[in-house]
Amino acid sequence: MPAIVDAWDLVRRNLRSQSGAKVFDQWLKPAVLAAGSDEETVRIGLPSPFMTNYVKSHFGDRLRLEFRQLMPSVRSVVVETSTKALVPPSANDESPATTAAPAPSVPRVLGADRPLAAAPAKPAREGERFAFDPRFTFDRFVADATNQVAFNAARLLAAEGPVRFSPLYLHGATGQGKTHLAHAIGHAFLEAHPAGTAIYMPAERFMFEFVKAVRERDTFAFKARLRSVDLLVIDDLQFIAGKDSTQEECFHTVNEFMTMGKRLVICADRSPRMLEGIDPKLVGRLASGLVADIRPPEYALRRAILAAKLADMPQVSVPDEVLELLAMRITANIRELEGALNRLVAYAQLIGEAVTMDFALQTLGEVLKGPQRRITIDEIQKAVSAHFEVKQLDLVSERRAVAIARPRQIAMYLAKKLTTRSLPEIGRKFGNRDHSTVIHAVKRIEELRDKDREIDTAVRGLMRQLEG
């Protein structure tokens, strides 16, 4: 298979040039073109599970882009633990990449954040079909009440049939699963529409490519490339705040997709009305679609995510008590939760020890000690009364004036989010109120946080103060 062998040699040279000799020698030099590779699926073998996990997470996208540039037929690059090489490593790894530069007709990726160059004979959007991360699919997304609306809306948008809403606007804090859903939409859409085309583009890359097109006086090609696809996903929209020209182009792109009835997905860290530094007319377009939030994961979801993650590691054993410890202590960020499990498993494999409770506490001490302090409802009431300049007794009284009722609802909301107290217990702490009153307060504050910037800022500040 000379084509794939030659491509592998060029990929190694390019990666050595991009990453530097030290990083390349430590992580990529041991990699081999593994047996089972063909012109559609490239298999890269590493000698240990730890090296496999590291290369997969740090170089997986780069490897796929490199091979796609050299061989458009490549659909995926699998990084696995294997020493069965299809060909031995090149003897020229130590040579500078310039000693055997690729032929002029072969494009070369200079970095994962650079735009893809298309083969002249094929449409530019064809390569974008494979820009979605293979790890992020609907099957691997764990759903519950905190993300169910977003999950169902994402599946509906990707399915066959007419477009029922566009854009789909997903928002939530960092590490809650927005990007996972964005990539899952792309995979499901392309599976349901084999002839369809799709692009996943972080807002930062949107800005980079637009500015580059302006400088090169080639904005027409940029516009045509994005607007010709059937599905466009723009992630982390908040990063174009204050970038007027980029926002203007983004507005026209959104408007074009809505006018043509095509699928559009936008992800950001807050609801449209809460975005700062974004043109109001763009905010209006985004808010006119389906807006779905992803709330911080509750314990049951965190535990289920760890179980699903562990299922992908069939030869790894982690006791239930360790998984429960991680789920209880790491509460705000799914990405941090998964990272803690990965780190625990990697360290155990490196030193050849079994994962136990003592090992987890020793390895993840600084990660686990933060949320250990128990926050009490009394502390919450004191903090809320001080912030809103009301008496603590007013929070447990029967007074219904807005100046008292709103801080009381915020205090109930914080008690539900920051303590392990049940709804009836919280109600008793607020003047023997029924648990349904607590539920109403929590829902009301969640709604107001999406609409009222002042309340959202107050809640964020109180959370930081209480958790700090």
Digit-coded pLDDT (tens) for 105-126: 332 322 233 333 333 333 333 4
Residue 168 predicted with pLDDT over 80: yes
Backbone φ, ψ for residue 13 (5° rounding): -65, -45
Exposed, middle or buried: residue 259 (CB in 10 Å: 0-12, 13-18, 19+)?
exposed
Residue 341 predicted with pLDDT over 60: yes
CATH class name, domain 299-372: mainly alpha
pLDDT of residue 174: 85
Tell whether residue 177 is among the known ligand binding residues: yes
pLDDT of residue 399: 87
Residue in this structure with the two tokens 């893809």, named with its chain if needed: 116
pLDDT tens digits along 398-448:
888 889 999 999 999 999 988 878 888 999 999 999 999 999 999 999 899
Average pLDDT over residues 275-293: 92
Residue 351 predicted with pLDDT over 60: yes
Strand pairing category for 32-34 and 41-46:
antiparallel
pLDDT of residue 87: 57
pLDDT of residue 103: 33
Residue 353 predicted with pLDDT over 90: no
In angstroms, the CA 75 to CA 231 distance is 19
Which range among 34-48, 270-284, 397-411 shows the weakest confidence by mean pLDDT? 34-48
Average pLDDT over residues 180-191: 94
Which range among 131-135, 205-209, 301-305 shows the weakest confidence by mean pLDDT? 131-135
More confident site: 151 or 103: 151
pLDDT of residue 290: 94
More confident site: 105 or 50: 50
Tell whether residue 429 is among the known ligand binding residues: no
3-state secondary structure 233-265: EEECHHHHCCCHHHHHHHHHHHHHHHHHCCEEE
Residue 127 predicted with pLDDT over 60: no
More confident site: 62 or 213: 213
pLDDT of residue 20: 72
Which range among 59-73, 115-129, 350-364 shows the weakest confidence by mean pLDDT? 115-129
Mean pLDDT computed over every residue of the chain: 82
Residue 101 predicted with pLDDT over 50: no
Residue 249 predicted with pLDDT over 60: yes
Tell whether residue 178 is among the known ligand binding residues: yes
One-letter identity of residue 355: V
Confidence category of residue 2, pLDDT binned at 50, 70, 90: low
Confidence category of residue 373, pLDDT binned at 50, 70, 90: low
Is residue 264 within 8 A of residue 206, CB to CB? The reply is no
pLDDT of residue 114: 33
Is residue 257 within 8 A of residue 227, CB to CB? The reply is yes
Distances (CA, A) of 284 to 107, 237, 271: 41, 14, 11
Confidence category of residue 370, pLDDT binned at 50, 70, 90: low
Average pLDDT over residues 245-274: 92
Average pLDDT over residues 301-323: 87
Distances (CA, A) of 277 to 240, 244, 271, 282: 8, 9, 13, 11
Q: What is the CATH number of domain 2-93?
A: 3.30.300.180
Residue in this structure with the two tokens 């997905």, named with its chain if needed: 265
pLDDT of residue 120: 32
Tell whether residue 179 is among the known ligand binding residues: yes
Residue 268 predicted with pLDDT over 90: yes
Fold assignment, 128-294: Rossmann fold (3.40.50)
Residue 371 predicted with pLDDT over 50: no
The correct answer on CATH 3.40.50.720 for the domain covering 377-467 is no
What are the residue boundaries of the structural domains of the chain, listed by start? 2-93, 128-294, 299-372, 377-467
Q: Which of 52-56, 235-239, 296-300 has the highest mean pLDDT?
A: 235-239
